[in-house]
Amino acid sequence: MKKRLFVKGNEAVAMGALEAGCRYYFGYPITPQNDIPEFMSREMPKVGGTFVQAESEVAAINMVLGAGAAGGRVMTSSSGPGISLKAEGMSFMAGSEVPAVIVNIQRPGPGLGGIDVSQADYFQAVKGAGHGGYHLIVLAPHSVQELYDLTMLAFDLADRYRIPAMVLGDAMLGQMKEALVPHAHQLPEDLPPKDWAITGKGGRAKGNAVKSLYLADGELEAHNWHLHAKYAQLKEKETRFEAVGLEDAELILTAFGGAARIVKTAIAMARKEGLKVGLIRPITVFPFPAEIYRTATAKTPKVLCVELNNGQMVEDVRLSVDPMADVRFYGRPGGTGSLPDPEEIFAQICKHYKD
């Protein structure tokens, strides 16, 4: 029988990273993700890795930039205000095509906001967070097992596409304990060699430069089209989602991450009552799984999008569905005492099912 562990979501992220061969971690404390740096500070030295508590999230992301540019498997993690501080660095990494993994265990905002469950950073994540118009790969786990598995996947995707990848969790997922089946990471054999990495010339004819500045005529435009083509390729090849009960659905619910857990329970309640309710749960929120929304809503036009914010992913849902679809929204921004329970979502299902 496979070994089962009972671990916290944040620890699952760190365990997945180590299993995927991450040997460099740079971070700065912020609730609700502190278990990650704490775990890394304890475990990294045991595998000969590097843990540095940086002086700020700004410094941490730039250490990540350096280590990623140098060819290392590197990660940082943070939440809300800390991710804002990392935005400039992420933009440079996207522009310079530096692979790395950035974990956001979301908390509610704006500003200092709070430390509870929230999905307030969806826009920030899928729009890249920083300046200049770029994307990160954004993976949205909804269980402790997925925090582990998708963190591993994030490293492989980042390396394959030379792009920073984000794991978008939240305070609920990070703090909860659940069963986890650990497994060995299978490094894909076809990952491209990091011949662009900064290692010291080491006899190469030309020095490598990892940079985002392009000043010559037409150079920057060409670079941006190159990045754009990469995003198009991601949409084509790396879109991931979970779809349940779409065959007979009269109403499609859609939610990602922590919200999807509550929605799943509510759907089970609805199914018990004989209501034909399906689910689309994006696992990659960038690239967004647009196609499944289009085909599913061509058959079942009514969609209810549930989020732990005032309505963010619903914009991507509306852009994806069949033109005749009817997209509705139910959400609550996070904050203490503001987490909807399954009954609340079940009530919404009943309401929208009828009219």
Q: Which residues bind other proteins (CB under 8 A)?
A: 24, 26, 50, 52, 54-56, 58-60, 62-72, 74, 88-89, 92, 96, 198-203, 207-213
Compare residues 72 and 342 and give the one whose CB is closer to other proteins.
72
Pick between residue 208 and residue 239 the one whose CB is nearest to other proteins: 208
Residue 81 CB, nearest distance to other proteins (Å)? Answer: 16
Min separation Cβ 302 and other proteins, Å: 46
**Which of 202, 274 has the CB closer to other proteins?**
202
Of 74 and 126, the one with the shorter C-beta distance to other proteins is 74
CA separation for the pair 40, 301 (Å, rounded): 46
Which lies closer to other proteins via its Cβ, residue 210 or residue 292? 210
In our burial notation (b when 16+ CB lie closer than 10 A, e otherwise), range 8-22 reads bbbbbbbbbbbbbbb
100 in Cβ contact with 76 (< 8 Å): yes
Question: Which CB, 199 or 336, lies closer to other proteins?
Answer: 199
Q: Which residues contact 325 (CB under 8 A, 6 or more apart)?
A: 293, 297, 301, 302, 303
Separation between Cα atoms, residue 219 and residue 308, nearest integer Å:
41
Q: State which residue, 191 or 209, has the beta carbon closest to other proteins.
A: 209
CB of 147 closer than 8 Å to CB of 173: yes
Burial level of 209, CB count in 10 A (0-12/13-18/19+)? exposed
How far apart are alpha carbons 89 and 97 in whole angstroms? Answer: 12
Amino acid occupying residue 113? G
Q: Is 320 helix (H, G, I), strand (E, B) or coil?
A: helix
Residue number with CB closer to other proteins (44 or 325): 44
Residue keyed to tokens 């921004």: 333
Identity of the residue, 67 or 306, whose beta carbon is nearer to other proteins in the bound complex: 67
As given in the structure block, the two tokens for residue 175 are 């703090």
Q: SS3 of 72, please?
A: coil
Which contacts of 327-333 are long-range, i.e. CB under 8 A and separated by 24 or more positions? 327/303, 328/302, 328/303, 328/304, 328/352, 329/304, 329/305, 330/304, 330/305, 330/306, 331/259, 331/305, 331/306, 331/307, 332/308, 333/108, 333/118, 333/120, 333/308, 333/309
Question: What is the closest distance, in whole angstroms, from the C-beta atom of residue 83 to other proteins in the complex?
Answer: 16
CA distance 170 to 121: 10
E strands present in 15-99:
24-27, 50-53, 74-78
Matching residue, tokens 């509550």: 262
Compare residues 123 and 214 and give the one whose CB is closer to other proteins.
Answer: 214
Q: Which two tokens stand for residue 120?
A: 């307030």
Q: How far is the CB of 41 from other proteins (least distance, A)?
A: 14
Query: Is the distance from CB of 113 to CB of 121 less than 8 angstroms?
Result: no
